Amino acid sequence: MDPNKRTRILATAGIVVVAGALVFAGYTIVTRSVSRIGVFTRPTGVSTRVERSEDGPMLPVVIGDLGEFTAVAATGGWKITIAPGDFAVQVFASDRAADQVRVSQRDGTLSLDLAPGTISVSDGLEAEITVPDLRRIDIRGGANVRFAGFDLESLALRIDGAASVVATNGTIGSLDLVVNGAANVDLSDSPVVDARVALDGASNLTIAMAGGELSGSLRGVGNVTYTGDVTTESIRVEGLGRVRRR
């Protein structure tokens, strides 16, 4: 037999044997052709959903025990969902973003950050959080935050950037909202009793009021739109923004 042909046959046979051994051991090969919803199987046998970002499939980021927290802080382009439940955090990232992710907890605040020096990660960062009580949310950058099902005595919400924050299927007793930038905040499905707001820039707030006071300031070209009943509305407007009842 021709020596070159014999070498090619042996090499092919070796690849087949190695692939067969990997399958037998429980490994799954994942490529960038993974569809939007798939399964990433770790060697331990634990399966986690895989979604697809512009940079490829979303894979789980392994994090340790973070302890208890009542506040969430995020920097960068995160997509975050928060729901009531026992303390749990699941983080997913694209291949490009995974090495930049930093998740920690300190003094009761869960922080979702990026490594120092990271220029920009606008896609490929997701976090699913459950927590018994939520008291504060701090956002820097263009995060997309959704929280649902909370009946909160009070909530402090701080936004710096072009974030989107939506609350659904809940209530808020006292809201302290501070926004700088071009954010959109929708609280139309989580009625608020008393709200103190400070909006600076081109931000928009839609809020359902439940009989308390709506106060604060609006600077720039933003808008405050509210529904429901208030005892008083005393938002000071500086610039081209406006406050209106719908």
In the chain the domains, ranked by start, together with CATH numbers, are: 56-144 (2.160.20.120), 148-245 (2.160.20.120)
The structure's pTM equals: 0.76
Task: Quote the tokens at residue 54.
Answer: 């512009």
In the block, residue with structure tokens 């209530």: 171
pLDDT tens readout for residues 141-167 = 999 999 999 999 999 999 999 999 999
Count of residues for the chain? 246
Which pLDDT band holds residue 112 (cuts at 50, 70, 90)?
Answer: very high
Written as six digits, the tokens of 11 are 């090499």
Nearest to 179 by CA among 155, 156, 194, 201: 201
Percent of the residues in the chain that have a pLDDT greater than 70, as a whole number = 74
pLDDT exceeds cutoff 70 at 7: no
Q: Which residue, 16, 32, 14, 13, is CA-closest to 24?
A: 16
Q: What are phi and psi of 202, to 5 degrees?
A: -120, 40
CA dist., res. 181 & res. 162, Å (int): 6
pLDDT at 115 over 60: yes
pLDDT at 119 over 80: no
Least confident span in 26-40, 160-174, 184-198, 217-231: 26-40
Higher pLDDT, 62 or 126: 126
